[in-house]
Chain A
Amino acid sequence: MGDNIGYNQDQIIKGFKQNDSSILRTIYSNTYPKVRSHILKNNGDEDQAKDVFQEAFVVCWRNIKDSKFSNTGSVEGYLYTIAKNKWTDYLRSATYKKTVVKSKLTNLQIVADNDLADEDVAQENIEVLKQALSKLGEQCKTLLKQFYYERKSMNEISETLNITPASARNQKYRCMEKLKALSLDLKKHE
């Protein structure tokens, strides 16, 4: 466990940037057992291990895309550390309520708010967009997923959806336009 047979660090980073399924899967299956073992040893259960790990995986994936990951360590080590820290934060949050005096807690929150303000706003927008996404029709969802996540070409997509490439291209535009409109609607009603 631990070696990514056949993949070097550059390939892994490129794989994350391009959503390469087999690379993502390898990192997932190599790292999850270690995280699970850490969480089970530290008062957690398997469901919690899965949730924490997947959240960490998304953060790791996002940071690699945003070039926030310094190329010095291994991706697996980086992912493991994010997951471990997330679990520590979770454990602390539960115990903080009981032990930290109120004044200290307020200070902590203020610091945290300042630090995360921008990212919070961006993440909030993404959450709204994900809600909007769930309201899109199935055809739109499939098309957008194949194009933006699976990185399929318009030709490939047109084949799976049984439409012409030109029509696929137009539909992609209409679907994104719709997604934008739905998210604006959701924000108005918040």
Chain B
Amino acid sequence: MSKNKYISQEFQETFERYLMDNMNKEETDGFINKLEADADLKKAFQDFKQMFLAVEEEALREELNTFHKDIPKLDITHKKTNKTRFYLIAASITIFVFIGGSLFFNKQTPADKLFATYFSPDPGLPTVMGNSNNYKFYEAMVDYKQANYKTAIEKWEPLLLEKPKNDTLNYFLGSAYLAEANFDKAITFLNVTTQNSKSVLLQDAYYYLGLSYLKQNNIKKAKENFEKSSNELSKEILLQITHLER
């Protein structure tokens, strides 16, 4: 049987009867024995079986699409509502808290507003892995940059045992606590950084200290720290504070 020549009609019909389960037990056994004894026949059968499967599969796929049309569409509004509802609730709570905070309870002070305008967490240091000494520090930096401040804090705090006065470590612990709105802790750590007058982070540490005190409505301490910081934002915020005081 030549490789490329198609099988005879007789063979085709025998193969069909086998594949379509139309043979009795005796005939099936005889057919299988023949296949096992004749490699060419077996190959011809396998080729035919693939054609048979291809025709079937193509038809099945068409039919699956027909079945699919009968599937009740997932109530898109319902589905969306599930997600949207979550956001709506979240948004309403946020709005309520804001409105509640500023109007109803009238608790948002001008200092809070200033803080909200100026505060954004320090973006963190580039995390270049490889320096094994600092591995743990930078591992936590990855968390910090992903705004997983609690995890970063958990990883950084044990490092203080070795380097309690390290300006960078204290600075980022302060920043992380500030981002977590834990102002007392933020002040404690940032104050350690400002004790190192040579720290490259000194100006920023004063700035964030200023913001922490501002948020605590300690305007005097806030001003002191902004005044010590040479960064542009500190100067800007100082002007604003002066307006506040008028």
Using CB atoms and an 8 Å cutoff, list the residues of chain A in contact with chain B. 17-19, 21, 24-25, 28-29, 32-33, 36, 40, 46, 50, 54, 57-58, 61-62, 122, 125-126, 129-130, 132-133, 144-145, 148-151, 170, 173, 176-177, 179-181, 183-184
Q: How far is the CA of A151 from the CA of B56 in the complex (A)?
A: 10
Q: Are B60 and A184 in contact (CB under 8 A)?
A: no
For the side of the interface on B, what is the size category? Answer: 20 to 34
Binary contact readout B34-72 vs A (1 if CB under 8 angstroms, 0 otherwise):
000000000000011011111111111101110110110
Interface SS, A side = helix
Interface SS, B side = helix
* Residues from chain B with Cβ under 8 Å of A180 in the complex: 6, 47, 51
Q: Is B9 an interface residue (CB 8 A)?
A: yes
* Residues from chain A with Cβ under 8 Å of B55 in the complex: 129, 133, 144-145, 148-149, 179
Q: Are B60 and A61 in contact (CB under 8 A)?
A: yes
Q: How far is the CA of A144 from the CA of B48 in the complex (A)?
A: 13
Q: How far is the CB of A170 from chain B (nearest CB, A)?
A: 8
Using CB atoms and an 8 Å cutoff, list the residues of chain B in contact with chain A. 4, 6, 9, 12, 16, 20-21, 47-48, 50-61, 63-65, 67-68, 70-71, 74, 79
Q: How far is the CA of A129 from the CA of B58 in the complex (A)?
A: 10
Shortest 3 CB-CB contacts between residues of A and residues of B: A129-B54, A149-B59, A28-B67
* Residues from chain A with Cβ under 8 Å of B57 in the complex: 58, 62, 126, 130
Q: Are A40 and B79 in contact (CB under 8 A)?
A: yes
Q: Are A28 and B64 in contact (CB under 8 A)?
A: yes
Q: How far is the CA of A54 from the CA of B69 in the complex (A)?
A: 13
Q: How far is the CA of A2 from the CA of B56 in the complex (A)?
A: 27
* Residues from chain B with Cβ under 8 Å of A129 in the complex: 50-51, 54-55
Q: Are A17 and B6 in contact (CB under 8 A)?
A: no
* Residues from chain B with Cβ under 8 Å of A170 in the complex: 9
Q: Are A54 and B64 in contact (CB under 8 A)?
A: yes
Q: Are A148 and B6 in contact (CB under 8 A)?
A: no
Q: How far is the CA of A33 from the CA of B48 in the complex (A)?
A: 36
Q: Which residue of chain B lies nearest to A45 when distances are taken between CB atoms in the complex? A: B79
Q: Are B53 and A62 in contact (CB under 8 A)?
A: yes
Q: Which residue of chain B lies nearest to A50 when distances are taken between CB atoms in the complex? A: B68
Q: How far is the CA of A18 from the CA of B56 in the complex (A)?
A: 10
Which of B6, B51, B70 lies in contact with A25, CB distance below 8 A? B70
Q: Which residue of chain B lies nearest to A133 when distances are taken between CB atoms in the complex? A: B58
**A125 and B60 in contact, given A28-B67, A173-B12 (Cβ under 8 angstroms):** no
**A32 and B59 in contact, given A40-B79, A129-B50 (Cβ under 8 angstroms):** no
Q: Which residue of chain B lies nearest to A132 when distances are taken between CB atoms in the complex? A: B54
